[in-house]
Amino acid sequence: MEVHDAARALISAADAFAYREPTVLPQAEEPVRLDDVRERVAGRRADVPACLSTFSAACRNVLLRQGDS
């Protein structure tokens, strides 16, 4: 189950970054402050590598446990 949960978290993080990224951009009536946009995008982008690392570790743990049996 740990791999499944890690995979779902990775999918969710990638989806949030790739498909919902426009939600962090300012609306048409808002002033564009590039630093603010960069900060919001960076926060979303950071989730993907963290989730990928967790997923990789979960896969590795399962594979190592199977090798012990």
Average pLDDT, the chain: 79
The owner of tokens 């570790």 is 57
Is this prediction's pTM over 0.85?
Answer: no
pLDDT for 57: 95
The pLDDT of residue 21 is above 80? no
Q: Are 17 and 47 in contact (CB under 8 A)?
A: yes
**Integer-rounded Cα radius of gyration of the chain:** 17
Give the model confidence (pLDDT) of 24-53 as tens digits: 565 667 677 778 777 777 767 778 889 999
Q: Which of the four pLDDT bands, split at 50, 70 and 90, describes residue 54? A: very high
